Chain A
């Protein structure tokens, strides 16, 4: 979340974190570029008007240099046609005019994040598992799963990358934010509790551990 309005950036980050996203906040362009070059992000919420390096420049730099490419949602108070065209031409994936309704921001974030996965709506299904991102519900078959925000986010990430081997570092980067301590076993612990909630009693375990490389959600 990149915006020079500290109060706005913090509020958006708070709301996104509550939805289970890992959010880093940056209040100017230069700091944002530093972070983008070091970490990998799935999505940037980018304000256009910032002192120094503005949002459009950040966008151009990211499009030219970042790898892998994040999705970019531009936030701006300018709603002129030229502004929108320029923003999208700079490489933004979507555009939201301030002041926005927070549910709309969430919907756009969800829509952008599932673009390169197989999901076509807020409901994602992998085998018996089903999550509804918009309603924050997870089910295995008909059984509702009672997950914490972090567990939900973890399951969502697994399901969007079903069948792939995902390393602990990747999870730390995409499900936890920059303040997470890379030396704790928080990822292992959360994966453990998620695994226990997904497969109770004698159900088939769905999340397997690939020793030495990470975890994988079985994709039937």
Chain B
């Protein structure tokens, strides 16, 4: 009987307490505990796959051979033992004599001896077979497992700092080769990711160095001047303030960028019309300050699956750009619509447009149309990169149509959410 109030197993509870008292490296300890356990009773080579394969193979061969030989022996024994020996009965006087056939008796004795010999030889043969199969099994399994050793050797040699190496296992396209190729693919992806990270850190540190240089030089030059006036000091302080603001904004954008690259985004249904309404409301004040009309229109019933905050950020970056580049008195339009399985959200301006040669580069990290002006406005050069990153993380993309002197249109294309009930067809004005 099991008392339901007791823990399911005392052993289990003990294990938990042991686990809790383990050092933080408990995971590693657990991974190895099996081999530790094996090695505490058996020599290390007995814990190897090679040994186990050999042992299992030899025991199987021995067992099967023993079955066959034993079957033959028992069958023979049975059939021989049950052989009837014919006898002749005759009467002498009142007694009946039974006289077995002498020849058959002799034959039976011979058979018995042969059976004995068969038993002895079978046992020897089985023992020989067992030891041969041990040797053969050890050699064969060693050969089969050799690529595995190669794989683990090469993987051990590959350091995080040098992911250019590959296992590059030759030989037939078997399971081990596939394992090695899988490792190689993984190394390739890791290498790409590390390379991208390195490149990003390089670029980011370069971007941070410029404002740092401004701050440092201004402070050094001003502070080393014993005759610096209050006005000089004030000027230096203003420069430092400008530069640190620029750095703060850059760091913010770098963090957003890095976070979007690593964290997975939420996947919730997002109402596009609401998204556009909110973004338009948020940017109403900056737009009117810049003398730009902000017009928005989104048909109801457009839904996408995505991260609301990330989408707000993407739309916000596009809007901020559009307003920044729009001359006074022009219009910035936000629209949404449905095209097949895609929902699009477009931000159009009537600004100066983007030169065709620059259209591919606008999404590059740290690219600014006019670097000096961009820096003075404290822009990081990451805005559109973040937009693209968000769009791609949500399974969509961002597209640019632009004509010099006529304006630009950036469009987010996102997979539409399949609605539970059929959607009313979008109003034609939304697509036009």
Whether A5 touches B375, Cβ cut-off 8 Å, given contacts A77-B210, A99-B209, A99-B212, is yes
**Contact assessment for B214 and A77 in the assembled complex, using a CB-CB cutoff below 8 Å:** no
Number of interface residues of A (CB under 8 A): 25
Q: How far is the CA of A97 from the CA of B214 in the complex (A)?
A: 13
Q: Which residues of A contact B221 (CB under 8 A)?
A: 11-12, 14-15, 18, 102
**Contact assessment for B224 and A102 in the assembled complex, using a CB-CB cutoff below 8 Å:** yes
Among the listed B202, B239, B375, B376, which residue makes an inter-chain contact with A80, where contact means beta carbons less than 8 Å apart?
B202
**Contact assessment for A98 and B213 in the assembled complex, using a CB-CB cutoff below 8 Å:** yes
Q: In the complex, how many angstroms separate the beta carbon of A110 from the nearest chain B beta carbon?
A: 16
Most chain-A Cβ atoms within 10 A of its Cβ — which of B217, B220, B224, B375?
Answer: B217
Is A78 at the interface (CB under 8 A from chain B)? yes
The A interface, classified by DSSP as helix, strand, loop or mixed, is loop
Would you list which residues of chain B between 216 and 231 have a CB under 8 Å from chain A? 216-218, 220-222, 224-225
Q: Which residues of B contact A15 (CB under 8 A)?
A: 217, 220-221, 224
Q: Which residues of A contact B214 (CB under 8 A)?
A: 5, 7-8, 11
Is A130 at the interface (CB under 8 A from chain B)? no
Among the listed A6, A51, A77, A80, which residue makes an inter-chain contact with B209, where contact means beta carbons less than 8 Å apart?
A77
The B interface, classified by DSSP as helix, strand, loop or mixed, is helix
Is B402 at the interface (CB under 8 A from chain A)? no
Q: Which residues of B contact A98 (CB under 8 A)?
A: 209-210, 212-213
Q: In the complex, how many angstroms separate the beta carbon of B369 from the nearest chain A beta carbon?
A: 9
Q: In the complex, how many angstroms separate the beta carbon of B181 from the nearest chain A beta carbon?
A: 33
Q: Which residues of A contact B206 (CB under 8 A)?
A: 77-78
Q: Which residues of A contact B225 (CB under 8 A)?
A: 18
Would you list which residues of chain B between 379 and 413 have a CB under 8 Å from chain A? none
Is A4 at the interface (CB under 8 A from chain B)? yes
**Contact assessment for B213 and A100 in the assembled complex, using a CB-CB cutoff below 8 Å:** yes
Is A40 at the interface (CB under 8 A from chain B)? no
Is A27 at the interface (CB under 8 A from chain B)? yes
Q: How far is the CA of A215 from the CA of B202 in the complex (A)?
A: 52
Q: Which residues of B contact A78 (CB under 8 A)?
A: 206
Is B312 at the interface (CB under 8 A from chain A)? no
**Contact assessment for A7 and B372 in the assembled complex, using a CB-CB cutoff below 8 Å:** no
Q: Which residues of B contact A27 (CB under 8 A)?
A: 372
Most chain-B Cβ atoms within 10 A of its Cβ — which of A5, A51, A80, A97?
Answer: A5
Q: Which residues of B contact A80 (CB under 8 A)?
A: 202
Q: How far is the CA of A80 from the CA of B222 in the complex (A)?
A: 30
Q: How far is the CA of A4 from the CA of B373 in the complex (A)?
A: 10
Q: Which residues of A contact B210 (CB under 8 A)?
A: 5, 8, 77, 98
Is A101 at the interface (CB under 8 A from chain B)? yes
Is B21 at the interface (CB under 8 A from chain A)? no
Q: In the complex, how many angstroms separate the beta carbon of A166 from the nearest chain B beta carbon?
A: 29
Would you list which residues of chain A between 162 and 194 have a CB under 8 Å from chain B? none
Is B331 at the interface (CB under 8 A from chain A)? no
**Contact assessment for A7 and B239 in the assembled complex, using a CB-CB cutoff below 8 Å:** yes
Most chain-B Cβ atoms within 10 A of its Cβ — which of A11, A50, A98?
Answer: A11
Q: List 12 A-B contacts (CB under 8 A).
A: A4-B372, A7-B242, A11-B222, A11-B236, A14-B222, A18-B221, A18-B225, A27-B372, A28-B372, A77-B210, A99-B216, A100-B217
- Write the residues of chain B forming the contact surface with A, with a CB cutoff of 8 angstroms: 202, 206-207, 209-210, 212-218, 220-222, 224-225, 236, 239, 242-243, 370-372, 375-376
Identify 19 new A-B residue pairs, CB closer than 8 A, beyond the known A7-B239, A18-B225, A98-B209.
Answer: A7-B243, A8-B217, A8-B218, A11-B236, A50-B371, A77-B207, A77-B209, A77-B210, A77-B213, A80-B202, A97-B209, A98-B210, A98-B213, A99-B212, A99-B215, A99-B217, A100-B217, A101-B220, A102-B216
| Interchain residue pairs A-B with the least CB separation, the first 5 | A98-B213, A99-B213, A15-B221, A77-B209, A102-B220
